[in-house]
Structure 1
């Protein structure tokens, strides 16, 4: 396949994903605007919100608005701090209750127009850089993961690279890769420039779910060794129906498998598999031997921080809304990170809480030495900002945060462009 045709196929796939990931446009839009442009306040300050309802780009009037204020709680409900209703006027404003601790406050407004309900929310932050994690660091955390790395080092990698001619272009070679991991395999898609030379490398770690992967053709054409991995120990070039069946069956809710057994928790093999991916990159003759970046979003954002915390060979990381951060947040009356557990008697068991600490991104963030670029929004109800700030605030390495306040669990194209520009420049300088 030539580069032009392959690029067209990838563009169609990405556009389909984009349509699913981005918020759909509605006939009526409820706009909630805080009186601070950065959506950020000092503790004890009273935020004020302007409410407007737009249809056909024209503000509506004289309709009832129901509103409520609550702490950021992800998609779980914790408590309502205040609620009420009013008739919409030309310049309707409501004041929020005072918020007296670092965290996030969400204002939700709902209207009914022509028998259909429309709703929206805006989340503001109160000194989020002062948020402290609720989880704690186990005394044997380093020992536990050092033992895991020793176990991995004893497993011969035995890489198997299978050229995928149908995906190759005039400039890029594409391979399906199989590696030995602890208790199984790790698979991925490797893309490399055809032109002889030594190149910096980028490891792409995946968001949650079970799916095929296609590799980063454009990235390799820009002069990078690019490796995209799956985490489930199965080939990543199978028919989509295989992954759909796994998601609905054996791998349903995999993120909490063996949560009461730290030696067999699902993510142990996953985290060590990310180290194995770095081992593989280091073994490639096209790699320049020096510069490795890692990037991903959600679960991939979590894995980016985990691998940077475990493996000093990572030089740079770029993470969108890292999941698995401060998972015990709900036990402290605020939102915990995805997968939003510890909310009922089934999960709120001491052994599960203790095991989670060995896998919580906050505790890996404490060990990150790689320079990092981070980005998320205040409105994310999957990886709540309280949880992501909990991880970000303990990072001592050089870092920069780019907040796109209104984003939920998705990104603007401009965010991804910023990420790419930053990561590419760092790796090539």
Structure 2
């Protein structure tokens, strides 16, 4: 009877798995919008009017007499105007006006077809490469961070490497790494991936996106000729259970707000110093080629890439995607900032002390201090790291820079852009 019960359970699980496979989520929506600006590059001059052509279709065929509601206004802020429009032949056009100062406008459209709500959005830029940050640059910014780095150097790095055969391949060796940072007994964890060829290689630091979650080894960078180090930022081993990570995530909550009113003890201080400590570790490896140090990441990782390049002069190149933590004070200046929206109406954090602390950690102030070549990329339809905020960071960089903009993308990037960034980094490091 026991064997029969086990068999029945296994059979049910197999059937459920097959049913799920047969009903996997659709990659597209049944009803779709096509939103087309009247400028191919989605960019406009100041005081130039923008209009958006709208198509609603099902099965690739325009839906006649579709009714849509719309609203438009400044990027991520309250709408300027809302209205309704009937699309006689499934198409229509909306003028969204202009802007007198550099920034982005956002159009949101909705329709109900067969009782189902569908929505989409588009953002277009007005003189986007002239956007300037609102965040102030503290007079003692450089001395504050130099002291922090010098103090951190007094703490032994004490690296502990554990070989991970279950992740390693015939071409790449993988190690779990623990290094000391910020305080004795406090650590940064990550996975080191090294080409298995006993040659010298450029080193690559890969900081993580936002959240408290497990990281995994990334072998792709090593397969391209880099010694790579992918880290977490919370001092938690990536090998604790998923359940423990969930508990820790709940306990930390909005970690970006911890000690936000105290610049000397703000949560991100140990995180930023952990980035320079990662460079300490990578450049100490015997396989390091002695000259090429690069950093790359997206979102929070894109922010930390800029921070690392701004803080650590050993970095020789960076690739940053839609960096978070950019121009945090924008919301109190009636403009869109980026993740984590700490001074938006969503959070009541805009005190003098908190604004002051944020200025020491804002990505735009590190971007101003970058002196090495950089590859940057963003999309215009991003509602997590808004284009207004990411462009304020990019425009703050005075060093050699290149940017790939895919305006249609949100808080994600195309594989083609990834490939361009890797090719660019390899070229900077002399990897063929």
- Structure-1-length-normalised TM-score: 0.92
Match of 1:99 in 2: 99
Measured in 2, the distance between the counterparts of 1:396 and 1:237 equals 40
Q: Is the 8 A contact 1:50 1:93 kept in 2?
A: yes
Measured in 2, the distance between the counterparts of 1:425 and 1:244 equals 40
Q: 4+ residue runs of structure 1 moved beyond 4 angstroms?
A: none
Match of 1:193 in 2: 195
Counterparts of residues 160-309 of structure 1 (less than 5 Å): 160-183=160-183, 184-248=186-250, 250-309=251-310
Q: Is the 8 A contact 2:159 2:178 kept in 1?
A: yes
1:240 CA displacement? 2.0
Q: Is the 8 A contact 2:190 2:238 kept in 1?
A: yes
Match of 1:370 in 2: 372
Counterparts of residues 9-408 of structure 1 (less than 5 Å): 24-73=27-76, 78-90=77-89, 91-183=91-183, 184-248=186-250, 250-344=251-345, 346-408=348-410
Measured in 1, the distance between the counterparts of 2:376 and 2:220 equals 22
Measured in 2, the distance between the counterparts of 1:216 and 1:427 equals 19
Match of 1:428 in 2: 430
- SS state of the match for residue 231, structure 1? coil
- Structure-2-length-normalised TM-score: 0.91
Measured in 1, the distance between the counterparts of 2:41 and 2:223 equals 37
Match of 1:13 in 2: none
Measured in 1, the distance between the counterparts of 2:121 and 2:181 equals 44
- SS state of the match for residue 97, structure 2? coil
Q: Is the 8 A contact 2:44 2:127 kept in 1?
A: yes
CA shift in 2, pair 1:244/1:23, >3 Å: farther
Unaligned runs of 5+ in 1: 1-19
Number of aligned residue pairs: give it: 404
- SS state of the match for residue 245, structure 1? helix
- Cα-to-partner distance string for 1:120-146 (whole Å, 9 max, x where unaligned): 110000001111101010111111101
Q: Is the 8 A contact 1:30 1:110 kept in 2?
A: no
Q: Is the 8 A contact 2:171 2:195 kept in 1?
A: yes
- SS state of the match for residue 134, structure 1? coil
Measured in 1, the distance between the counterparts of 2:297 and 2:401 equals 16
Measured in 2, the distance between the counterparts of 1:364 and 1:275 equals 13
Measured in 2, the distance between the counterparts of 1:116 and 1:310 equals 50
Measured in 2, the distance between the counterparts of 1:24 and 1:265 equals 41
CA shift in 2, pair 1:424/1:117, >3 Å: same
1:256 CA displacement? 1.3
Q: Is the 8 A contact 2:56 2:66 kept in 1?
A: no
Q: Is the 8 A contact 1:257 1:266 kept in 2?
A: yes
1:237 CA displacement? 2.3
- SS state of the match for residue 389, structure 2? helix
Q: Is the 8 A contact 2:203 2:283 kept in 1?
A: no
Measured in 1, the distance between the counterparts of 2:231 and 2:220 equals 17
Q: Is the 8 A contact 1:109 1:119 kept in 2?
A: yes
- Cα-to-partner distance string for 1:290-322 (whole Å, 9 max, x where unaligned): 101100000000000000000010011001100
1:342 CA displacement? 1.0
- SS state of the match for residue 357, structure 1? helix
Unaligned runs of 5+ in 2: 1-23
| More deviation, 210-219/156-165 | 210-219
Measured in 1, the distance between the counterparts of 2:372 and 2:108 equals 38
- SS state of the match for residue 358, structure 1? helix
Q: Is the 8 A contact 1:32 1:109 kept in 2?
A: no
- Cα-to-partner distance string for 1:155-196 (whole Å, 9 max, x where unaligned): 111111111111111121111001110121111100111211
Measured in 1, the distance between the counterparts of 2:44 and 2:165 equals 55
1:362 CA displacement? 0.5
Measured in 2, the distance between the counterparts of 1:202 and 1:428 equals 14
